């Protein structure tokens, strides 16, 4: 550790600053650290007609069975592309338009057990286009040899209906989940496909939307796709439009990338020291973060056991039924039990709470968990979270199981989580670096407003989510 910790105490002496700068340049050369190159991505513009159609669909509650939830209910651009909650509440909210802390579930609703109804944290959809291989915390949508695998095809096998991109494939699933969007009555019979029924709804075939709404959607889709092909409105097209909207959400103009692209003044001294730690392998005296948060998007898109606290409903794994086995649920490989996908860290200061179950409220606690998972679990305090009734019965059980799993993997040399010790100054430096991964646009309501339907946009079905926070402020 000596090489790195030598510079952790704070000083702004010019020669010290020059030394840190020189060491960071060496690290960048040596480990070939790069910024995301937007020219290779082919991201659509938010101004494209398809993205604009996607924006309206993303905000329409018509895509939920009971017309109370939109994609934006859990992925709002004003909330960093997420929902600002540990665990989401989708359908049956007391006030469907209230997002973030204060969003509550109706106590009278069926299937409610007192806590959040969705078992995993809602990830940001910002920069989703940077994921090239795996989707979701467990990768149950992923690129396979001959296409894209989804929950509708068996492990390792392409789903012929997945669509053109990971985003399009993903957009076919939230509407099938009872807790997220479908509700408990719509498409509730075996064999029902919520997507076919929603396509039919938008075409006016189930009588749920009035004729004006049906005509409006027909006109909106025809303007993009032409009126020739029938049906003009289908869920396949809904998914493609939402995918274009999501893939236009590229927010990568952050200080770190500016620095990598040549702006030597973009980073504070502390962030530079954090960048050295982050990008230097543990074997070379660094914090070893890039053994998993690798590449420009800072994710290997692979799965690792970190034993982060398991709170909430879980996925029904383990005998107490509130566990979540993560990647193991898909791969059934013993080493994947409790493994979750490495998330991208771009804009991470704006995307909390953190981890697959949203167990950590702030960056410091989630970073410290990496450094000493056992100690973090032993001292874990759920009161750091703002959420009512978050289930935590399985916390101790899963903590023991997942720590055991991590220790076993470490003993077999199958864990990539290095055992490093950092002092408080170094942790502060790492956090300063993580904060330099935020594009200022995502902190600015005016800047993200292009991705939020406004008065200038048509509202085809009058079911647009106009979201507010618990103080009644417009999001
Ligand atoms: C009730 C909240 C909720 C709603 C509504 C919702 N999502 Fe999500 N979304 C989630 C959660 C939770 C996950 C993670 C699930 C998992 O990993 O098992 C997720 C994951 C995603 C991901 C994958 C992100 C990643 O990093 O892998 C995308 C993309 C996404 N949602 C888009 C959508 C779209 C499009 C819609 C509307 C059709 C939608 N979501 C509706 C909660 C929600
Ligand atoms: C062994 C692989 C691995 C290493 C090494 C690693 N991480 Fe992680 N990191 C992960 C995984 C996996 C998660 C998500 C865990 C979960 O969801 O339960 C994560 C989550 C995070 C999060 C929370 C992000 C979010 O959106 O929830 C932050 C911040 C983070 N890591 C920072 C770091 C830093 C800083 C380092 C270096 C000190 C580091 N990580 C080293 C795999 C790793």
Using the atom order of ligand 1, give the atom closest to the CA of residue 73: 5
Atom of ligand 1 at shortest range from CA of 138: 17
Ligand 1 in reach of 361 Cβ (< 6 A): no
- What pLDDT shows up at residue 394? 85
pLDDT at 110: 80
Question: Ligand 1 centre from 6 Cα, in Å?
Answer: 43
Structural domains of the chain ordered from first start: 2-38+253-435 (1.10.760.10), 49-249+445-451 (1.10.760.10)
The ligand 2 atom at the shortest distance from the C-alpha of residue 124 is 26
Q: Identify the pLDDT of residue 12.
A: 56
**Cis link prior to 276 (omega < 30° from 0)?**
no
Ramachandran angles phi, psi of 78, nearest 5° = -75, -10
Distance CA 439, CA 451 (A): 15
pLDDT in tens, 130-150: 999 999 999 999 999 999 999
63 lines ligand 2 (CB under 6 A): no
Residue 388, pLDDT score? 82
| Whole-number pLDDT of residue 5 | 46
Q: What is the pLDDT of residues 311-368, one digit of tens each?
A: 999 999 987 778 999 999 999 999 999 999 999 999 999 999 999 999 999 999 999 9
| 0.85 exceeded by pTM | yes
Six token digits for residue 91: 């359908």
The closest of 168, 109, 102 to 135, measured between CA atoms, is: 168
The residue ranges of the chain whose pLDDT is under 70 are 1-12
Pocket mutation for ligand 1, best pick of 62, 64, 74 (most atoms within 8 Å of C-beta): 74
71 Cβ closer than 6 Å to some ligand 1 atom: yes
What torsion do the CA atoms of 136, 140, 143, 149 make, to the nearest 10 degrees?
A: -140
Number of the ligand 1 atom closest to the C-alpha atom of 167: 29
CA of 286 to the centre of ligand 1 (A): 34
At residue 3, the pLDDT reads 46
Name the CA radius of gyration of the chain, rounded. 23
């Amino acid at each position: 550790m000596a090489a790195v910790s030598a510079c952790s105490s704070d000083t702004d002496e010019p020669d010290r600053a020059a030394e840190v700068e020189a060491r960071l340049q060496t690290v960048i050369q040596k480990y070939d650290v790069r910024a995301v190159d937007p020219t290779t991505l082919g991201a659509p513009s938010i101004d494209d007609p398809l993205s604009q159609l996607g924006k309206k669909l993303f905000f329409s509650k018509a895509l939920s069975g009971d017309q109370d939830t939109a994609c934006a209910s859990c992925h709002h651009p004003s909330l960093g592309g997420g929902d600002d909650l540990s665990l989401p509440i989708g359908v049956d909210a007391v006030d469907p338009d209230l997002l973030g802390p204060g969003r509550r579930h109706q106590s009278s609703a069926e299937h409610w057990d007192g806590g959040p109804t969705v078992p995993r944290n809602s990830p940001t959809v910002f920069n989703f286009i940077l994921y090239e291989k795996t989707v979701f915390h467990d990768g149950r949508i992923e690129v396979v040899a001959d296409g894209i695998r989804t929950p509708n095809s068996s492990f390792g096998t392409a789903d012929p209906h997945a669509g053109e991109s990971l985003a399009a494939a993903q957009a076919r699933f939230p509407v099938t989940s009872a807790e997220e969007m479908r509700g408990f009555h719509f498409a509730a019979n075996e064999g029902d496909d919520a997507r076919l029924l929603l396509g039919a709804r938008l075409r006016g075939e189930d009588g749920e939307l009035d004729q004006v709404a049906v005509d409006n959607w027909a006109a909106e889709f025809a303007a993009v796709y032409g009126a020739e092909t029938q049906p003009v409105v289908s869920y396949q097209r809904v998914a493609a439009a939402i995918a274009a909207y999501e893939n236009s959400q590229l927010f990568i103009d952050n200080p770190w990338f500016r620095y990598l692209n040549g702006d030597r003044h973009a980073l504070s001294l502390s962030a530079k020291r954090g960048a050295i730690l982050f990008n230097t392998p543990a074997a070379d005296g660094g914090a070893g973060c890039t053994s998993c948060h690798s590449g420009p998007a800072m994710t290997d898109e692979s799965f690792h056991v970190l034993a982060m606290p398991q709170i909430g409903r879980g996925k029904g794994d383990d005998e107490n039924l509130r566990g979540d086995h993560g990647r193991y649920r898909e791969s059934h490989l013993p080493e994947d039990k409790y493994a979750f996908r490495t998330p991208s860290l771009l804009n991470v200061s704006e995307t909390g709470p953190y981890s697959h179950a949203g167990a950590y409220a702030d960056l410091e606690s989630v970073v410290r968990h990496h450094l000493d998972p056992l100690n973090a679990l032993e001292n874990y305090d759920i009161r750091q979270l703002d959420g009512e009734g978050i289930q935590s019965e399985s916390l101790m059980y899963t903590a023991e199981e997942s720590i055991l799993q991590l220790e076993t993997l470490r003993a077999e040399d199958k864990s990539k989580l290095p055992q490093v010790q950092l002092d408080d100054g170094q942790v502060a430096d790492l956090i300063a670096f993580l904060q330099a991964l935020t594009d200022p646009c995502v902190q600015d309501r005016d800047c993200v407003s292009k991705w939020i339907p406004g008065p200038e946009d048509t509202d085809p079905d009058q079911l647009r989510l106009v979201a507010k926070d618990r103080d009644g402020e417009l999001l």
